[in-house]
Amino acid sequence: MKRILIYSILVVFVVSMALFGISCKAEAVEEAEEEVAEVIEEAEEEVAKEEAGEIITLRLMMFPDNPPDEEFYDILITEYEELSPNIKIERESVPWNNFQEKLMPQIMAETPPDIARVSSQWGGSYAAMGALADLSEFITQEDIDKFQSGRWVTCLYEDKPFGLPETSIAIAMWYNKTAIEEAGIELPESADSAWTWDEFKEAAKTVQDKTGIEYGFDVYKSFFPYLAWIYSGGGQLLGEDLKTPEINNEKSVEAVKYLTDIYAEGISPVTTPASGDPDAAQKLFQAGKVAFYYSGVWLTSTFVDAIKDFEFGATYLPMKAGEDPATNASGENLIIFNKSEHIKEAYDFISWFTNKENSERHLGYANLLSPRLDTSPVYEVRPDILEVFGNQAAMLKIQWAKEAHISEFSEITPSLMDNLVLALTGKMDAQNAMDIVADEVNTIMAE
Amino acid sequence: MGLILKIMKIKRVNLLYFLIPGLILLLLFVIVPILYSFYISFTEFKSGSFIFNGFDNYIKLLKNKVFWISIGNTFYYTVGVIVPSVTISLFIAISLNRKGWGYTTLRTIYFLPVAVSEAVAAAIWVSVLNPEVGMANYFLEILHLPKIGWYADYNWVMPTLIMVTLWKNVGYYMIIFLAGLQTIPPYYEEAAKIDGANNWHIFRNITLPLLKPSLFFVYITSILFSFKVFTWIYVMTQGGPGYSSMLTVFYIYREGFKKFQFGYASATSVVLFLILLVFIIIQLKYFKMFETKDYR
Amino acid sequence: MKKFKLIAINLILIIGAILILLPFVWMVSTALKTEAEIGMWPPTIIPKEPILSNFINGWTTLPFTRFFINTVIYCIGAVAIGGLFMPMVGYTLAKFKFKGRSWTFLIVIITMMIPAQVLIIPEFLLIKNLGLVNNYFGYILPEVVNGFGIFLMRQFFMTIPDEIIEAARIDGSSEIRIFFKIILPVSRPAITALIIFIILYRWNDMIWPLINTTSNTMYTLPVGIASFTGVQYGIVWNNLMAVSTIIAIPMIILFVIFQRYIISGITLTQLK
């Protein structure tokens, strides 16, 4: 028995060596899976390419926002390859949670992809590492003006562009329509005329009292909504110079205190900020236990599929009396790495990908918001909700966009989140907590 | 004399055959990366390359409050996990070391948590233990018991982590003990029984000593696993609430892949490794008698 | 009295087994539910509207069949190389007295003390320099011979009486023959355990197949699953649980089959 086992292991070892040879030609394995028709088509294409010149391969590393998004990427890539027969785009889909673990070693080994689709906060960090290309020579002022300025600044490092904005992410207030109507609450009509904090708190409490719903309000545990809440109170993370911390100034701290009180009074569950599960509040909302849920537009199709027990909608975010409506500045960008050997071709692709027509088609299909000023994607799923989020996103101020995209932002967020949680769960006084964050910011800036 | 020399020569040649290929693979694919990570700990990644910065990372590290909290938590967690791990899995292995389909089924059940990956296990538990809408608290509610905060509670988070770790690993150690129990020849037990020993005596004086190598393995392995725990924290707590479940490997991950401070992260892993090394050497010295003792 | 003890122990074991099973009940229950029912309150254990489509949809959203093939290759490669060399190293550390043996053993233990997160980058640099990125060996080779396996083998080989080995030597057997004809058959439980562990590790391993590849066609099953948990905006529960259930089944079958080698190995009496 043992002998057979050992011999079979050795045989298998030899087989693996053979597979080594096969796997060296990854393309060969891929082609083996394609249908005969496609093989023939490719053969014809090859001939055409050879006549046109060399074939340039661009590696695109991305994470999908949702299945339609991924589907449309393939559609657009196929179209582009038909338009430019000498370009081939290899798309690799990487889980968002593991994106850095995949990208960092490649950057350090000096073999990054040509293009990456990233969350806007990441670009600044990569640029500070010296990994991104300078696209100044390709971009004209006309191109820049097509994008919302708040989204455009997220593609700059030291005023040099390294990519183009692709999508926008917006946050607003989801609400449990069935519960709201039962409690007789009237909702605000626009972002400017939204509730004040006090009015909102009243509304949330009323729904709790009148309908017996467990919680009046909850917040998605992430820096987007928390920072936006602070902005809605007139606070800021950093000053105009993007170096001095303002997170511990009077207004910022008051915003944190106000939110802490909402948790302390039982209007919101303390387990949400305390939990490490970012979906904690979403699960509560889907279970019908939360009246108002402060979160993002990406949940639209999830809620449409998952929520059948009650009706839901989106409305505008509250702000402190006398302050401006707030929102966050995030989205996804398509960035280019400087170790790419085909920066011009990569730029041509991302420029085409994010142009007006393709943007509209892609984002409409995938239910995502556009960073362009001249597009109006047609949304099939709950356009009423997308409209509210779009209007709220228009309230963006440049300062907020800039401060959330400095290259040190990723270094600051863990400390920000840790201390916000300590404050919101009542473990630490808000002023102390924010002072700690301010110290951390100073230390990071000094390096 | 010539015969002895001949035997020694045979030994040495075969020693090379046996040891070298495996050691080369270990050296190349494990030790070299480890050494490189030590090198990184003295650098900082800026402007596209690793720039030497001496002991800066280490100084910053040793002054960092969160790092020391994480070391404390790591020890708390490790100590909390080892004793139950070893004792429970030993108990299960001995009790289930019998033939019969009932026992086979039970062994398979205890093995199930090992069959799934840590990521999937953590995803399951984060749902089941959700303090507001999870199954666990739903059952408590039905039984009119108070809800528990589980991983969202400052006091419950560590016991929760220990509990899910035990759930996941007990089957793994059970397998090792089962295999270890097989190498104990049954005639020892039989001889002892004939001599009039009862079960407890047999266990204490025959089984346990003969299981020492397995015990040693499970003990050391559970320490090493505990020091490296990561997925549970990533999925369920993110080090929170506050810093109450901040353990060092999660801290390392966060510094490296969230804050992009790779030199600092490597330095942290070096310091963690040194602390662990001292801890392990103490264990090895304590168990030294198992290394060369002939326990027949 | 003795019988009472036996019943008590069996009762404890059964209660323990039930506790172990509960999360799996949830897992399978979720795999059978519609998306709407997963988020419902109060939660249901037996789905009101069970569906099988999660299994099919989950498996087809991504090329899981391809991932499955890759994972099988991955496991076979790791077992072929690791399963051959780790027992050899372990045996040498257990039975040969050579200078530097303690140091070698210490180094083996030390290799287990560094968390993988820190090794990702150096390992990738190494694999890239060897030209093995996006190649099966690119993820088989990292840790193919690792501290745990060597440690495990050493501990087991230590329990084999030296007299047997001496006897064989005096009979004139070469060391290699002794290893393959005498040691290995006796160590069947240990080798089985090792193989199970190697397969388990690689079947569920996400790190090396994720990091050392540059194209989706080389991904393995756990990397595919990560796509369900790594969605930027929330976990896709129904697909995740359905596919995870499917993936766990081969491992369970593996254990059920291999169990008997651990429970009924050759004892030393038969050796005599």
What residue of B is the nearest CA neighbor of A443? B60
| B249 token code pair | 């490997």
Give the minimum alpha-carbon distance from B239 to chain C in angstroms, rounded to a whole number.
16
Q: What would the mean pLDDT of C205-229 be, rounded to a whole number?
A: 94
What pLDDT band is residue B284 in, cutting at 50, 70 and 90? Answer: confident
Q: Binning pLDDT at 50, 70 and 90, where does residue C129 land?
A: very high
Q: Where are the domains of chain B?
A: 41-292
CA distances from A18 to A288, A416, B178, C126, C170 (A): 56, 52, 37, 22, 41
The token pair that represents B21 in the structure block: 């290929």
Please, which residues have CB within 8 angstroms of residue B21's CB and are 6 or more apart in sequence? C85, C88
Structure tokens at A173: 């207030």
* Residue A188, min C-alpha distance to chain B (Å): 29
- Residue A350 one-letter amino acid: I
Q: Which of A274, A291, A287 is nearest to A218 (CA)?
A: A291
Least confident of A131-135, B87-91, C226-230: C226-230
- Biggest alpha carbon–alpha carbon distance for chain C: 74
Chain B residues near residue A421 by CB distance under 8 angstroms:
240-242
pLDDT score of B50 more than 60: yes
Among residues C69, C85, C197, the alpha carbon closest in space to that of C141 is found at C85
d(CA A69, CA A93): 11
Taking CB atoms and an 8 Å cut-off, how many pairs form between chains B and C? 272
Structure confidence at residue A42 (pLDDT): 62
Q: How distant is the alpha carbon of residue A391 from its chain centre?
A: 18
pLDDT at A10: 67
The amino acid sitting at C4 is F
Evaluate whether C105 touches C111 at the Cβ level (below 8 Å): no
C-alpha span between C173 and C181 (Å, rounded) = 10
Average pLDDT, chain B: 88
Homologous superfamily of domain range A171-326+408-446: Periplasmic binding protein-like II (3.40.190.10)
**Alpha-helical regions (H) of A60-176:** 67-83, 99-108, 120-128, 141-145, 149-152
Instruction: Indicate whether C36 and C62 sit together in one domain.
Output: no
Ramachandran bin of C252, using left for φ above 0, alpha for ψ from -120 to 50, beta for the remaining angles: alpha
* Residue B49 pLDDT > 60: yes
Query: Distance between CA atoms of B104 and C255, rounded to whole angstroms?
Result: 10
pLDDT in tens, A279-296: 999 999 999 999 999 999
Q: How confident is the model at residue B1, as a pLDDT? A: 55
Domains A52-169+331-383 and A171-326+408-446 share a fold: yes
C210 and A6: CB-CB below 8 Å?
A: no
**Cα dist from A257 to A321, A326, B243, whole Å:** 15, 18, 20
* CATH among 3.40.50.2300, 3.40.190.10, 3.30.70.120, 3.40.1710.10 for A52-169+331-383: 3.40.190.10
Alpha helices per DSSP H over chain C:
2-31, 35-38, 53-61, 64-95, 101-110, 116-129, 136-140, 147-158, 162-170, 175-177, 184-186, 188-203, 207-211, 221-229, 237-263, 268-271
Q: Do C85 and B25 contact (CB within 8 A), yes or no?
A: yes
Distance CA C228, CA C235 (A): 6
Q: Structurally, how many domains does chain C consist of? A: 2
Task: For the sheet with A290-296, list strands across it.
Answer: A215-219, A290-296, A171-176, A312-315
* B41-292: CATH, from 3.90.1150.10, 3.40.920.10, 1.10.1740.10, 1.10.3720.10: 1.10.3720.10
Confidence of residue C269 (pLDDT cuts 50, 70, 90): very low
What is the ipTM metric for this complex?
0.91
> Mutating which of C54, C188, C227 best tests the A interface, going by the most A Cβ atoms within 10 A?
C227
Tell if the CB–CB gap between A286 and C39 is shorter than 8 Å: yes
Q: What is the distance between the alpha carbons of residues A102 and A144, in angstroms, rounded to a whole number? A: 30
Give the model's confidence band at A320: pLDDT under 50 very low, under 70 low, under 90 confident, else very high.
very high
Q: Is the preceding peptide bond at C122 cis, omega within 30 degrees of 0?
A: no
pLDDT range class, residue B230, cuts 50, 70, 90? very high
Q: Which of C107, C112, C169 sits opposite B7 (nearest CB)?
A: C169
Average pLDDT, integer, range A81-92: 95
Residue C143 tokens, joined: 């840790």
Strands (E), B20-134: 43-46, 49-52
Q: Is the alpha carbon torsion for C92, C98, C101, C102 positive or negative?
A: positive
Residue pLDDT, tens place only, A262-276:
999 999 999 999 999
Give the count of beta carbons closer than 10 Å to the beta carbon of residue A404: 26
Please list every residue in chain C whose beta carbon sits closer than 8 Å to the beta carbon of residue B257.
117
Mean pLDDT along residues A376-394: 92
Tokens of C46: 């037996």
Average of per-residue pLDDT values in chain A: 90
List the single residue in A with minimal CA-CA distance to B44. A129
Distance of CA A226 to the CA centre of its chain: 15
Q: How confident is the model at residue C4 (pLDDT cuts 50, 70, 90)?
A: confident
Instruction: Tell me which DSSP letter residue A427 carries.
Output: S
Q: What CATH code is carried by the domain that includes residue C171?
A: 1.10.3720.10
Residues C233 and C177 in one domain: yes
- pLDDT exceeds 80 at position A85: yes
Note the pLDDT of residue B295.
37
Measured between CA atoms, the residue of chain A closest to residue B151 is: A275
> What's phi and psi for C122, nearest 5 deg?
-60, -40
B21 touches A at CB < 8 Å: no
Closest alpha carbon to A70 in A37, A87, A95, A103 = A95
C-alpha separations of A65 from A73, A93, A95, A421, C212 in Å: 11, 11, 10, 27, 23
Cβ–Cβ < 8 Å for A386, A300? yes
B267 touches chain C (CB under 8 A): no
Interface of C with A in 32-71 (CB under 8 A): 35-36, 38-41, 61, 66
Q: Compare all CA atoms of chain B with the CA of A409 and give the residue at the minimum distance.
A: B259
Residue range(s) defining the domain that contains residue C26: 1-51
In angstroms, the separation between the Cα of residue A142 and the nearest Cα of chain C is 32
Phi/psi of residue A216, nearest 5 degrees: -85, -25
- Do C149 and C95 lie in one domain? The reply is yes
Separation in Å, CA of A435 to nearest CA in chain C: 30
Q: Using alpha carbons only, give the angle A236, A240, A246 rounded to the nearest 5 degrees.
A: 35
The verdict on B60 touching A (C-beta cutoff 8 Å) is: no
The span from the CA of A417 to the CA of C208, in Å, is: 30
Residues C5 and C71 in one domain: no
Indicate whether C135 pLDDT > 70.
Answer: yes
Phi, psi (degrees; rounded to nearest 5) at B124:
-65, -50
Tokens of C12: 């404890």
C231 pLDDT band (50/70/90 cuts)? confident
Residues C22 and C108 in one domain: no
Q: Answer for the pair A320, A196: CB distance below 8 angstroms, yes or no.
A: yes
Smallest Cα distance from C133 to chain B, Å: 14
Residue C214: its chain A contacts at CB < 8 A?
59, 92, 106, 113
The closest CB to that of A283, out of B130, B153, B235, belongs to B130
Give the confidence band of C100 by pLDDT, cuts at 50, 70, 90. Answer: confident
Q: How far is C214 from chain A (nearest CA, A)?
A: 7
3-state secondary structure C173-241: CCHHHHHHHHHHHHCHHHHHHHHHHHHHHHHCCCHHHHHCCCCHHHCCHHHHHHHHHCCCCCCCHHHHH
CA distance C67 to chain A (A): 13
**What confidence score (pLDDT) does residue C272 get?**
35
- Find, in chain B, the residue whose alpha carbon is nearest to that of C45: B135
pLDDT confidence of residue B191? 77
| Mean pLDDT across chain C | 89
Chain A positions in Cβ-Cβ contact with residue B153 (cut-off 8 Å): 271, 274
Per-residue pLDDT for B136 more than 60?
Answer: yes
Mutate to test the interface with C, among A1, A3, A13 (most CBs of C within 10 A): A13
B2-26 vs C64-95: helix crossing angle, rounded to 10: 150
Predicted TM-score (pTM) above 0.80: yes
Q: Do A277 and B235 touch (CB under 8 A)?
A: yes
Domain ranges within chain A, ordered by starting residue? 52-169+331-383, 171-326+408-446
Q: Do the Cβ atoms of B131 and A275 come within 8 Å?
A: yes
Rounded mean pLDDT, A24-40:
53
Kindly tell me if the per-residue pLDDT of A17 is higher than 90: no
**Minimal CA separation from C139 to chain B, in Å:** 11
The pLDDT-based confidence of C266 (bands split at 50, 70, 90) is very low
Nearest-Cα distance to chain B for C261, in Å, is: 9
Average pLDDT value for residue range A327-333: 92
pLDDT score of C270 more than 50? no
Chain A residues with CB under 8 Å of C271 CB are none
Say if the Cβ atoms of A96 and C231 lie within 8 Å.
yes
Q: Which residues of A touch B50 (CB under 8 A)?
A: 108
Q: What is the pLDDT of residues C166-191, one digit of tens each?
A: 888 888 777 778 888 878 788 888 89
CA distance C8 to chain A (A): 38
| pLDDT tens profile A147-199 | 999 999 999 999 999 999 999 999 999 999 999 999 999 999 998 899 999 99
Q: How many CB pairs below 8 Å do chains A and C form together?
A: 141
**Apex B131 CA angle, C52 and A328, nearest 5:** 85
- CA C245 vs. chain centroid, Å, equals 16
Residue A16 has pLDDT above 70, yes or no: no
Judged by CB atoms closer than 8 Å, whether chains meet at B48 and A129 is answered as yes
Q: How far apart are CA A390 and CA A370, in angstroms?
A: 9
Residues C211, A299: C-beta atoms closer than 8 Å? no
CB atoms within 10 A of CB B59: 11
Chain C residues touching residue A13 (CB < 8 angstroms): 80-81, 84
The whole-angstrom separation of Cα B264 and Cα B255 is 7
Q: Which two tokens stand for residue B180?
A: 């270890």
User: Given an 8 Å threshold on Cβ–Cβ distance, is A422 in contact with B48?
Assistant: no
Give B71's contacts in chain C (Cβ within 8 Å).
none
- Hey, are the CB atoms on B11 and C175 less than 8 Å from each other? yes
- Mean pLDDT over A113-124 rounds to 96
Contacts of C among chains (3+ CB pairs under 8 A): A, B
Q: Is the pLDDT of residue A350 over 80?
A: yes
